[in-house]
Amino acid sequence: MEFVFVVPRERLFPEHYPHGVVYFGEGLDAGALRDTWCEHGFFVERAYAERTPALKQIIPYTVVVRGGDVLLLKRSKRGGDARLFDKLSIGVGGHVEPQDLPGGDARGRDARDPIPGATRREVLEEELTVRGATTLTPIGLLNDDTNAVGAVHVGLVQVLHVDGDVAVREADTLQGEFVTPERLRDLRAAGANLETWSSLLVAELDRLLHTACPPAGAPS
């Protein structure tokens, strides 16, 4: 039985349900959001979460950037969620699971925050091999209630700048290459088979990359 991390919709969006990217610093506070999921988030059976729009499954959705280019992924029919077969994506991520909760000496809010662990597992342990310095920048939330899948998920958008090598771990089920932002915009304009969330992010790409640009000498 699979369990996933959820937050009641009304806790995330107490006033209205936004569409697209809501940036931190523009009516959305990163610290307050973290407090919300640490206080009100919990794990439920995935099958129940998938049919319950009153709950939002938080998905860390990480855009990997190197030298101004963006990692573009395509998942084959050999593995993963069938709803994502043959779709293009610029987001690396997946459901937050109980194993992502901190262990050891974690206390207080940290002990109840599974998001960093989920990001690390999905990006660095399951999907990709990353060598070199990295800088992770949280950007905001991505919401799309226009379809049944989006109605039960919400994306935590993050940009991971990498100064080094990046490789897909399971090349038989996932293909990846770095492409220019211009190429991504051309693909979207041509009607390429982009995931809905990725299509929304490509439309915001200039602002997304500008917001996430790491300062000179930023630590990894």
123-116-98-12 Cα dihedral, nearest 10 degrees: -110
Residue 218 has pLDDT above 50, yes or no: no
Identify which of 62, 42, 58 has the alpha carbon closest to the alpha carbon of residue 120: 62
Bigger pLDDT: 105 vs 127: 127
Tokens of 200: 């929304």
Q: How many helices (H) and strands (E) does the chain have?
A: 8, 9
- 176 is written with which tokens? 């990846």
**What domains can be seen in the chain, in order of their start residue?**
3-211 (3.90.79.10)
Q: What is the DSSP code (8-state) at residue 45?
A: E
pLDDT, mean of residues 21-43: 95
- Are 127 and 169 in contact by the 8 Å Cβ rule? The answer is yes
Categorize the per-residue pLDDT at 86 as very low, low, confident or very high, splitting at 50, 70 and 90.
confident
pTM here? 0.90
Instruction: Tell me whether strands 153-168 and 55-66 are parallel, antiparallel or unpaired.
Output: parallel
Q: What is the mean pLDDT of the chain?
A: 91
Residue 131 has pLDDT above 80, yes or no: yes
Higher pLDDT, 78 or 93: 93
Give the C-alpha separation, 44 to 6, whole Å: 7
Tell me the residue type at 54: A
- DSSP string of 103-172? -TT--HHHHT--HHHHHHIIIIIIIEEEEEEEEEEEEEEEE--SSTTGGGEEEEEEEEEEEEEEEES-TT
Confidence of residue 105 (pLDDT cuts 50, 70, 90): low
To which H or E segment does residue 128 belong?
strand 128-143
For residues 87 and 52, give the distance between their C-alpha atoms in angstroms, rounded to a whole number.
25
pLDDT for res 210: 87
Query: Do 18 and 53 touch, CB atoms closer than 8 A?
Result: no
